Structure 1
């Protein structure tokens, strides 16, 4: 309490006492104990009122105990069952939950993880992937400001995501790995990795790279065989020893027919080899007879050009060349799509050539664009000429229906820089992204598409796409989402096929551990997206003739069905729209591969290093008897007494009001009783 406040209280006490004595001892001429009692009651009333007016503030300190958290993350992948550790894991979880001393000293939190991480009370050990890095990424967002020792119950074998050995550097908690397995080593040969392009071109040869590894001490001989159906298309003898534990085999295979061809790469198992599943890896290649060539034409140097090339070529069915206007005119017949980047005075002949060949195009404008010329070269849109620039942030048009556009959190993307002024369209168009200025969306397109005279075109009214690709990587740790967005735009513009009311997007084949998701869009007769349609997919396994049906679920501006978990095999499917005579059919292949069954042992070395680097301790699942004792008696994880200090004003103290009321009531009663009223 401040000295000034204490002074006010002291003066208030003197004034209250003076007023009380003046009223009863001097003015009323009362004497004896009755005078002193009434003076005291009046003093209490005055002094309390003065205190409320001064309203002094007091510090209120409360104490409480804060227990540390004990985070338990359990590997829920199939490899745990495959290593016969499911029962041991479940028993350990039950013992942790039932341990009274542990629960008394910690707040226990249980999570399960596979490809994703979720809070859990039950385990199934059926997830197809294990992403240990995600544990530390997600938990660091929650527990970095608290004391939260972490138990990782896992075999340490990661099949998805970033390397968890590096991700733990961001996680500030002590880690206690519970190793599901032992240090026993077995003689084993496996196909460690197989590298092959997803697509090949008819009558060409495509490269394949197989990396085979060996774990053992003796010198052994085996053979690598690659087969298509019952035909062996490649074979090579391999020799391994204690000093030569891996071999890389490179070869090529011919692409002889259009479509998907499945292959099986196998290293012939050794005698008495325990795990023969990892000796085989299936792969497939889709043979196509043409490739989409895209010309990126610009007379400027800009990072957007490289960004567009990388995004387009992320799909192996497409090729992109960065050309000047002169270079394009010399080989214009080689391309199916042209990206015109910031047209300047040299682009008049290029536009004439594009019109002559009836090519589709994307026009990207920016700060160097000659809009006066561009307004003359085409009649589809006009730009107001202001000679000023503006920065525009994107906002997704949820009703865009020409093709499926996923929301990449466009609102968080950096702005594109373009010409200031209104862009007016003469032809019907659809907006993919609206312009947003200072957080306010305006009814003007930033990205737009339109169709005119059997040609398709897109207009992008700003430069700086390279920042978008970088932002997509920051958000997702991958360029895939942005590349897919550009890929869908290129796919739409690289063909002039007639628009259909039902569109289905899918891959020709999926690896065994891939997410099998099929998306569809359905439009009414005016080609407006229908968000209340009922779509079903009927799936037939061509190997077993088993038929199943699944409904699609609406997600933003598309319908989606998740077929992950299907058995490996060849499937035909038909997507139908209920109450409409519209359907679309196709075929897909799911390859037989389970990455979780490729391991014979726990990754003991990596888990033990994880414990050492985080100042924790590692335990084997068969030797966790001291785990509870070690955690409870670790001084780093002691319960901490904390205090909270709260400044409380006197006016909030309700008892003072009660005291004033009681004092006034008592004074009134005494005066009434003695006939002084």
Structure 2
């Protein structure tokens, strides 16, 4: 407290005392006990009021201790079980978590990870994918500013994600890997990678690339074989040596029948080969009869056009052609969908032709669009003309009904440049995305679809959608999310199929290492999404004839069920609405392949390099005591005492007001009791 404040308090005390004495002793020569009590109460009241006016401030210091964090991250993928390290993993978890000295020194937190990082509950070592880099990235976000030691219990074998070896730039704290698995090198032949397109076209040949690897010192001979059922469709002899340990084989196979064709690629095992699971890979190709052709027509170049082509053609069932206004008129019947970018008066003849042929269309309206022309040729909507533009962000409409849409974090996407002004419709439409200005929803559509006269049409009121595709890649390290979103829109627009009340979305085949998720939408008789219905799916294994029934769970704007627990086989399924006689059937195939069983050893070198890059040390399972001793003796991990100094004004001390109230009340009551009032 400052000297000036102390002086004010002393003066306030003297003044309060003088006023109290003056009030009760200026007319009396003797000092009675009652007057002394009255003077004291009045002094307390006055002095407290003066203190409130002065409002001195006091320092309040609190001391806290902060222990360092010990994060234990355990690999919960099935490769741990495949390498027979389950007991070792559980033993080391208990040993670290129950050590009394570590608990005294650290705040211990446990996590499990495979494809995603999760708080530790229990581990079954059954998950199908491992993403170590994702787990470390999530941990770095949580503990980046704290004193933390991270113990990574893993075999180091990653099946998806970025290379975790070089994560040191993001991870500011040491990582101490405990290496699970055999470190002895075994002789092994392996199909390292099989590259094949998901789709092929009838009467064509589809290419396949197989990368075969060998681990060993002796010269070996084997044979690479591809079979379909019991028929061998391709075979080639392969030879390996210590130095020639990798071979790439390129070949083609014919697509003779429509539907899903399943194949098995194998490399014949050599004598005494320990792991023969990685000698075989199953793959499938869906043969389709024709390709969806889409034309993009624009009067000027724009980055959106390239992004649309890349995104649409990410699905091999679709091809995109850029055409000018003269070329499209003679080829209009070749395309199932016409994409028109920012039309103006030059497009009048094109609109006359596509209106005559009742063609499906996707129109992009941006800053260079001639709105007078658009209003003149459109019978379904009018756009207010203000000659101004505005940047709008997108807001997903969760009640969008025509097809199933998953959110792809539209809130993080850059705004699109759009014409300012209201759009008025004369027909019903479905808004897929709405315009959002800052945090304010405008209830105006940004992307919408509608159906009229047996044709489908979409309108996008904004340009620079290429930035969305780029941002989606930054968010997810892949273009897949955005491409799938646009692909569903194009699939809807390129088809004229009659709208059904029950729509089911599924793949023709699933790889054994991916999640098998089937989604469905159910609509009432007015084609509004119905959340009251109960959907069930009946799945029948074609090989065993075993049937299973699952409920579909309502999630956002669709129902879905996860069938990842089903064993590899071919299945028939039927989705049925329980309250109405409506159902939809289909078939899918789950291919037999477990990527986690492709490993023979722990990836020792990567885990050791990870430890080195982050300033930690790697340990084998038998060295766990050394890890504990090093953590306890490391001066970096010491408990820190922190002091927190708060400046508290007297006004914040509520008891002073209580003292004033008590002293005034007591004085009044005593004066009243003694007949002085």
Q: TM-score, normalised by structure 2?
A: 0.94
- Unaligned stretches of 5+ residues in structure 2: none
Please state if 1:594 is matched with 2:597: no
Please state if 1:535 is matched with 2:535: yes
Equivalent residue for 2:381? 381
Partners of 1:573 and 1:147 lie apart in 2 by 53
Partners of 2:299 and 2:657 lie apart in 1 by 83
Partners of 1:34 and 1:486 lie apart in 2 by 90
Partners of 1:378 and 1:258 lie apart in 2 by 41
1:23, distance to aligned residue in structure 2 (A): 5.8
Equivalent residue for 1:323? 323
Partners of 2:307 and 2:674 lie apart in 1 by 98
Equivalent residue for 2:499? 499
Equivalent residue for 2:271? 271
Equivalent residue for 1:566? 566
Partners of 2:671 and 2:366 lie apart in 1 by 91
Match of 1:635, SS state, is coil
Equivalent residue for 1:95? 95
Q: Contact 2:167–2:610 at 8 Å: present in 1 too?
A: no
Over residues 14-63 of structure 1, what are the superposed CA-to-partner deviations in whole Å (9 max), with x where a residue is unaligned? 32354456567765434799999997887666444422331211110011
Q: Contact 2:166–2:610 at 8 Å: present in 1 too?
A: no
1:227-376 alignment runs, 5 A limit: 227-376=227-376
- Cα 1:378–1:41 change in 2 (3 A) is closer
- Cα 1:674–1:351 change in 2 (3 A) is closer
Over residues 418-471 of structure 1, what are the superposed CA-to-partner deviations in whole Å (9 max), with x where a residue is unaligned? 222222223332222223334333343222212222211111111121122223
| More deviation, 624-633/349-358 | 349-358
- Cα 1:101–1:369 change in 2 (3 A) is same
Please state if 1:515 is matched with 2:515: yes
Over residues 81-133 of structure 1, what are the superposed CA-to-partner deviations in whole Å (9 max), with x where a residue is unaligned? 11111001111111222211110111110111111111113211111111111
Equivalent residue for 2:61? 61
Equivalent residue for 2:525? 525
Q: Contact 1:136–1:168 at 8 Å: present in 2 too?
A: no
1:523, distance to aligned residue in structure 2 (A): 1.6
- Cα 1:58–1:448 change in 2 (3 A) is same
Partners of 2:446 and 2:672 lie apart in 1 by 85
1:153, distance to aligned residue in structure 2 (A): 0.3
Match of 1:232, SS state, is strand
Equivalent residue for 2:189? 189
Equivalent residue for 2:467? 467
Equivalent residue for 1:80? 80
1:428-443 alignment runs, 5 A limit: 428-443=428-443
Partners of 1:34 and 1:370 lie apart in 2 by 95
Please state if 1:405 is matched with 2:408: no
Match of 1:624, SS state, is helix
Equivalent residue for 1:149? 149
Please state if 1:633 is matched with 2:633: yes
Partners of 1:524 and 1:273 lie apart in 2 by 59
Q: Contact 1:154–1:179 at 8 Å: present in 2 too?
A: yes
Match of 1:252, SS state, is strand
Partners of 1:258 and 1:670 lie apart in 2 by 105
Partners of 1:91 and 1:104 lie apart in 2 by 20
- Cα 1:503–1:25 change in 2 (3 A) is closer
Match of 1:169, SS state, is coil
Give the CA RMSD over aligned residues: 2.7
- Cα 1:109–1:671 change in 2 (3 A) is same
1:149, distance to aligned residue in structure 2 (A): 0.8
Partners of 2:29 and 2:342 lie apart in 1 by 101
Match of 1:239, SS state, is strand
Partners of 1:658 and 1:349 lie apart in 2 by 86
1:147-226 alignment runs, 5 A limit: 147-226=147-226
1:118-157 alignment runs, 5 A limit: 118-157=118-157
- Cα 1:673–1:228 change in 2 (3 A) is closer
- Cα 1:649–1:444 change in 2 (3 A) is closer
- Cα 1:674–1:338 change in 2 (3 A) is closer
Equivalent residue for 2:488? 488
- Cα 1:103–1:672 change in 2 (3 A) is same
- Unaligned stretches of 5+ residues in structure 1: none
User: How many equivalent residue pairs?
Assistant: 677
- Cα 1:7–1:451 change in 2 (3 A) is same
Partners of 1:425 and 1:652 lie apart in 2 by 60
Q: TM-score, normalised by structure 1?
A: 0.94
- Cα 1:181–1:256 change in 2 (3 A) is same
Q: Contact 1:78–1:597 at 8 Å: present in 2 too?
A: yes
Match of 2:137, SS state, is helix
Partners of 2:533 and 2:175 lie apart in 1 by 50
1:597, distance to aligned residue in structure 2 (A): 0.4
Q: Contact 2:24–2:35 at 8 Å: present in 1 too?
A: yes
- Cα 1:419–1:47 change in 2 (3 A) is closer
Equivalent residue for 1:451? 451
- Cα 1:24–1:193 change in 2 (3 A) is same
Partners of 1:339 and 1:662 lie apart in 2 by 82
Partners of 2:268 and 2:222 lie apart in 1 by 6
Q: Contact 1:136–1:170 at 8 Å: present in 2 too?
A: no
Equivalent residue for 1:111? 111
Partners of 1:414 and 1:352 lie apart in 2 by 35
Equivalent residue for 1:547? 547
1:646, distance to aligned residue in structure 2 (A): 1.6
- Cα 1:574–1:657 change in 2 (3 A) is closer
Equivalent residue for 1:608? 608
Equivalent residue for 1:620? 620
Equivalent residue for 1:644? 644
1:391, distance to aligned residue in structure 2 (A): 2.6
Partners of 2:321 and 2:588 lie apart in 1 by 31
1:665, distance to aligned residue in structure 2 (A): 10
Partners of 1:338 and 1:314 lie apart in 2 by 18
